[in-house]
């Protein structure tokens, strides 16, 4: 694997993602100390449920991202419904109500692309289950900057379209079953 220090992790998911993200977060160890940013396509009614569910699933505090949040380790920042989540060059978060991308706001591509611009080769991008191609362009940007890209093995995804789209694009470094992603990430740090 590449000899570099990773500074942030971005995760994107859609259909079936709530449980997939819980599975991934629950498998990360206390040694996993880089900030995590998540886009899960969702309805506004799931606000409180998601943070509580993911808090219980993992060792990380989950927090709905606020504009101008400074990224901290041990916290998983979740894009609020109907807002794009962006990473600024100073590694703070910002929110946007710009038009939908791939029919989604928040868009996985927006998070992945802005995080890649901020972190360059020190970013890990993970695409999980989903039913469209959101995230593929963002993963191409992460790979172009020298970051690490991971896709959930499509046959382990509730909806295989999203990880398969990323794989088909040639932008993926590692294809893993959902149950192996957390241990792979733990071994990187």
Domains parsed from the chain with CATH numbers: 8-188 (3.40.50.180)
The question of whether 84 is a catalytic residue gets the answer no
Q: 182 pLDDT band (50/70/90 cuts)?
A: very high
3-state secondary structure the chain: CCCCCCCEEEEEECCCHHHHHHHHHHHCCCCCCCCEEEEECCCHHHHHHHHHHHHHHCCCEEEECCCCCECCCCEEEECCCCCEEEECCCCEEEEECCCCECCECCCHHHHHHHHHHHHHHHEEEEECCCCCCCCHHHHHHHHHCCCEEEEECHHHCCCCHHHHHHHHCCCCCEEECHHHHHHHHHHHC
pLDDT in tens, 55-88: 676 667 888 899 999 999 888 999 999 999 999 9
Residue with tokens 């992790």: 9
The question of whether 14 is a catalytic residue gets the answer yes
How high is the pLDDT of residue 42? 80
For residues 156-178, average pLDDT: 97
Tell me the range of 33-37, 47-51, 111-115 where mean pLDDT is highest: 111-115
The question of whether 173 is a catalytic residue gets the answer no
How high is the pLDDT of residue 1? 44
- Above 60 in pLDDT, residue 183? yes
Q: 20 pLDDT band (50/70/90 cuts)?
A: very high
For residues 86-114, average pLDDT: 96
How high is the pLDDT of residue 45? 60
- Which residue among 69, 134, 160, 165 is the active-site one? 134
- 121, 146 contact by CB (below 8 A): yes
Taking the alpha carbons of 149, 152, 155, 158 in that order, is the dihedral positive or negative?
Answer: negative
Cα–Cα distance, 167 to 175 (Å, whole number) = 8
- Above 90 in pLDDT, residue 3? no
Cα–Cα distance, 149 to 143 (Å, whole number) = 6
Whether the bond into 106 is cis, omega within 30 of 0:
yes
Cα–Cα distance, 78 to 62 (Å, whole number) = 7
Cα–Cα distance, 34 to 8 (Å, whole number) = 5
pLDDT in tens, 116-127: 999 999 999 999
Greater confidence (140 vs 3) lies with 140
How high is the pLDDT of residue 47? 58
């Amino acid at each position: 694997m590449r000899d570099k220090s990773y500074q942030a992790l971005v995760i994107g998911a859609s259909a079936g993602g709530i449980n997939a993200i819980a599975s991934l977060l629950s498998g990360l160890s206390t040694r996993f100390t880089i900030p995590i940013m998540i886009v899960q396509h969702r309805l506004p009614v799931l606000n409180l449920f998601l943070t509580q569910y993911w808090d219980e699933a993992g060792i990380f505090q989950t927090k709905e991202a606020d504009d101008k949040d400074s990224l901290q380790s041990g916290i998983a920042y979740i894009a609020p419904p109907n807002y794009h989540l962006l990473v600024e060059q100073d590694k703070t978060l910002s929110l946007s109500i710009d038009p939908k991308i791939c029919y989604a706001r928040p868009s996985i591509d927006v998070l992945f692309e802005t995080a890649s611009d901020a972190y360059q080769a020190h970013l890990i991008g993970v695409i999980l289950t989903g039913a469209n191609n959101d995230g593929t362009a963002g993963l191409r940007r992460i790979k172009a900057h020298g970051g690490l890209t991971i896709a959930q093995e499509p046959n382990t995804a509730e909806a295989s379209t999203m990880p398969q789209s990323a794989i088909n694009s040639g932008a993926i470094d590692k294809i893993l079953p959902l149950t192996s992603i957390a241990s792979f990430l733990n071994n990187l740090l």
